[in-house]
Structure 1
Amino acid sequence: MKKVWFITGASKGLGLNLVQQLLTEGHLVAATSRNVQSFEDSIGSHVNFLPLPMEITSNEDVKTTIDSVMQKFGRIDVVVNNAGYSQIGAVEELSDEEVRKNFDVNVFGALNVIRNAAPYLRSQRSGHIFNIASIGGYLGNFPAFGIYCSTKFAMAGFTEALAEEMKPFGVHTTLVYPGYFRTGFLEKGSVMTPANPIAAYQNAREVEAAHLNDINGNQPNDPQKAAEVFIGLSEQQQPPVHFFMGVDTYDFVKGKISLIEEALEATKELAASTAIEN
């Protein structure tokens, strides 16, 4: 069955690869970007494609955009909250404005989409919401990535609740934690560095440099294969709520689980000492 997909932040990276693959397979696709002109070179004109300008931080603009998708296609089957960017910088050195902007896009932008798409999904009693987090939404022990990771931790938190809330309406919810994919995500213009770096944070500068100079362009995962995975997940009868995507994610996750288990056991007696004695 061909579905109607609504994808945010789709002018590049994982979002663009997904749009291209969906159109190849005959699906109907509405995709957003702050600049729809960027779709001209990558997609061009296609009968099944609806490119839409959208300011994701504006709830009213998001509502208008989603309403226009319904007017065009009559339904929305799959929502992909893909819009987001990485704000690099140590927690101390990032300004209030830099932090809030990252949360406005990565967290509140996704919530704007969910808030306005959910009524349609509930009424049709079907659908699938993909919230694209990051492996940094499961572990945050990367100097210089604390704020970005915290936006993805926030997404993970509300997605777990959303999955339970939407379940009675036949709507699936999947939280995707991508590892490192070979896209332009870490290139200049996509990633933001601190406006006022603090020299003392040498560890943050080292991790920042590693991502921008060494990891960028050498990521181990193929975005085209990611697009195929998304489509495969959307066709499952019981898709997972948590999906770690990428050849590099398994070791990251196992390491975090081991760390938590060790901490849990090491402090078990101290933690239990808070019990009220009867």
Structure 2
Amino acid sequence: MDTKKVWFVTGASKGLGLALVNKLLAEGYSVAATSRNSTALHEAISEESASFLPIEVDLVNENSVAAAVSKTIEKFGKLDVVVNNAGYGQLGTLEETTDLESRQNFDANVFGSLNVIRNAMPHLRAQKSGSIINISSIAGMTGDFAGWGIYCASKFAVVGFTESLAAEVKEFGVHATVVYPGYFRTDFLTSGSLRTPKNEIASYTAARQLQTTHEKDIHGNQPGDPEKAAWALLELVNMENPPVNLVLGSDAFKIAVDKLSKLKDQISGFKALSTSTDY
């Protein structure tokens, strides 16, 4: 295992980001870990070492992101792996979710990652190597979750720009992968990581039932182990030819297979209509 790689991980104070940073430090990697709250980051990761650089960053502010990338290069001399993990869940049907709530979710889940990519790529492109891992969700492959429309849309966006990124940076020896985690036993389903709409509409019973299921039944019973997810990401980076798309978790794997099967059936079932529009 190459212990000389320098990692840049966003959203590192909790969840998968925290598990990954702890694993990286234990394995001897150099890590720049970001959070919007430096206090939370220091409380979560108490280790003080030459290999660890905690940085408070506002990912929506491009100047803040640029400064964080510069600090990483200044301390470690290079940058090898970028993990865009920061983000949060937004509940609410499309009618309920306000414009502000929707834009804030896209800011955190989409535009923050784009800011990181935009500022990290000059370094990766110059050294002609590196990896960018963008954490989406299995909700970035299927939107069949009532009351999760905006969140799903943001995660679908992560899939789209990662696939394009992979095509764009391949010529520079840089790899890009989008990861679709299923349910992992983190604090993602708590109030700090999951926001509910301010203007709930009682008529949406399916959305309310699914909201209750996530908050009360799924939380604490998720099948995924964050520690094993961290190992999977390490294995991914050490691959000579990593995949552009990676599903994590047996639950996510099943959902992905079911979605692909349904999509194939729907596309094939309407072939005549689909192909009727040619000259």
Among 25, 28, 45, the residue aligned to 1:26? 28
- Could you state the TM-score of these two structures normalised by the residue count of structure 2? 0.98
Matching residue of 1:149:
152
Matching residue of 1:39:
41
User: Which residue identity lines up with residue 235 of structure 1 in the other structure?
Assistant: N
Q: Which segments of 5 or more consecutive residues in structure 1 lack a partner in the other structure?
A: none
Q: Please state whether the residue corresponding to 2:277 is helix, strand or coil.
A: coil
**CA apart distance, 1:37:** 1.4
256-265 or 220-229: bigger deviation: 256-265
Report percent identity of matched pairs.
Answer: 51
1:108 lines up with 2:108 in the alignment = no
Matching residue of 1:224:
227
**CA apart distance, 1:249:** 1.4
Q: Please state whether the residue corresponding to 2:132 is helix, strand or coil.
A: strand
Cα distance in 1 for residues equivalent to 2:244 and 2:266: 26
C-alpha distance after superposition, 1:79-130 (max 9, x if no partner): 0000000000001100000000000110000000000000000001000000
Q: Which segments of 5 or more consecutive residues in structure 2 lack a partner in the other structure?
A: none
Matching residue of 1:251:
254
Among 136, 139, 150, the residue aligned to 1:136? 139
Cα distance in 1 for residues equivalent to 2:99 and 2:43: 36
Cα distance in 2 for residues equivalent to 1:11 and 1:251: 29
Matching residue of 2:15:
13
Cα distance in 2 for residues equivalent to 1:182 and 1:172: 28
**CA apart distance, 1:47:** 2.3
C-alpha distance after superposition, 1:143-181 (max 9, x if no partner): 011100100000100110100101000001111000000
**CA apart distance, 1:266:** 1.4
1:120 lines up with 2:98 in the alignment = no
**CA apart distance, 1:41:** 2.8
Cα distance in 1 for residues equivalent to 2:191 and 2:103: 20
Matching residue of 1:177:
180
Q: CA RMSD in A?
A: 0.8
Cα distance in 2 for residues equivalent to 1:181 and 1:261: 28
Cα distance in 2 for residues equivalent to 1:124 and 1:145: 40
- Could you state the TM-score of these two structures normalised by the residue count of structure 1? 0.98
Cα distance in 2 for residues equivalent to 1:176 and 1:253: 12
Cα distance in 2 for residues equivalent to 1:15 and 1:205: 29
Runs of 4 or more off by more than 3 Å in structure 1?
none
Cα distance in 1 for residues equivalent to 2:164 and 2:212: 36
Count of aligned pairs between the two proteins: 276
User: Which residue identity lines up with residue 139 of structure 1 in the other structure?
Assistant: T
Among 201, 223, 228, the residue aligned to 2:204? 201
